[in-house]
Amino acid sequence: MTKDGALPKGFERPSRSPSQEKYEKVKSSSKTTTLRISKFNPESDSTSTFSEFKVHYQRWTTVLDAILEVKSNYDHSIGVRYSCRQATCGSCGMIINGKPRLACFTKISELDSDLVTVEPMNNFPIIRDLAVGFERLIATHKRIKPYIIRDDSEVTSETKEFLQSPEDVEKYIQFAGCIKCGLCNSACPTMATDSSFVGPQALAQAYRYVADNRDKGKDERLKIIDEPHGIWRCHFAGSCSQVCPKGVDPAMGIQLLRGYLLGYRK
């Protein structure tokens, strides 16, 4: 660098780099929306407040992209959980314009609104802002024993792996798509009032293993969910199935599970 602060000859920066030019071009063709982010710190706040930010978005901009832009440029303190950005890890569940959705799987352009309001998921304790605690979901998920229960093993010198026909797989495969994002539990009206309810996520997973013909733990699992705050407290509102980003239908799984308990499914 020279005495007057200028870069040496040959090292001068171009007035605008190609990436900057591209950014400016994209920015000029973008639309603007207002992003309202719920802010709440349980250690210091008594109620949640909203912070508003003007953000530029393109056709492909997701709500998570917008939140991260705000976090990078305007408010570093925003608490948000995310990881894969491709609807696989189930980390970025939140209430977007009143509906539980994955922020990385929701494009702002699809919301058809000039205002995007993001809040933490219902029926979960708030850690901070948009990040919620998953202890209850993980505990209920563990309780229903989400694994194949058998006395024998498929890995022996004499036997091959347990064979399944496509029809056998079809019975449970949609339920195996659960990413434990918690959106179904957030949408469930029973979860809102019954703090001991097992919840649609765990019940759908109970069905996933009960319907798997390799599993021998059906009776064990049915006993776990057949209790006062178990499967019978589902009112079949169906909101869990409406919000699932992976196409899992927990409401149907719960009704099919009830069939085992009522004795018309074996």
Binding site for other proteins (CB under 8 A): 190, 193-197, 226-230, 232-233, 261-262
CB of 194 to other proteins, least distance (A): 5
Residue whose CB is less far from other proteins, 105 or 197? 197
d(CA 197, CA 194): 5
User: With respect to other proteins, which residue has the nearer C-beta, 90 or 230?
Assistant: 230
Please report how close the Cβ of residue 258 comes to other proteins at its closest, in angstroms.
8
Q: What is the gyration radius of the CA atoms in the chain, in angstroms?
A: 24
Is the CA virtual torsion 149, 241, 251, 184 positive or negative?
Answer: positive
Q: Least distance (Å) from other proteins to the CB of residue 130? A: 27
State the minimum distance, in angstroms, from the CB of residue 48 to other proteins: 24
Burial of residue 253, with CB atoms counted within 10 A of its CB: 0-12 exposed, 13-18 middle, 19 or more buried: buried
Nearest to 228 by CA among 250, 195, 197, 189: 197
Query: Computed from CA positions of residues 208, 211, 212, 217, in that sequence, does the dihedral angle turn out positive or negative?
Result: positive
Q: Name the residue nearer to other proteins (CB basis): 177 or 259.
A: 259
Whose Cβ is closer to other proteins: residue 17's or residue 196's? 196
**What are the DSSP E strand ranges found in the chain?**
31-39, 49-57, 93-96, 99-102, 115-119, 126-128, 131-132
Q: Which of 145, 122, 169 is nearest to 225 (CA)?
A: 145
Q: How far is the CB of 226 from other proteins (least distance, A)?
A: 5
Closer to other proteins at the Cβ: 77 or 193? 193
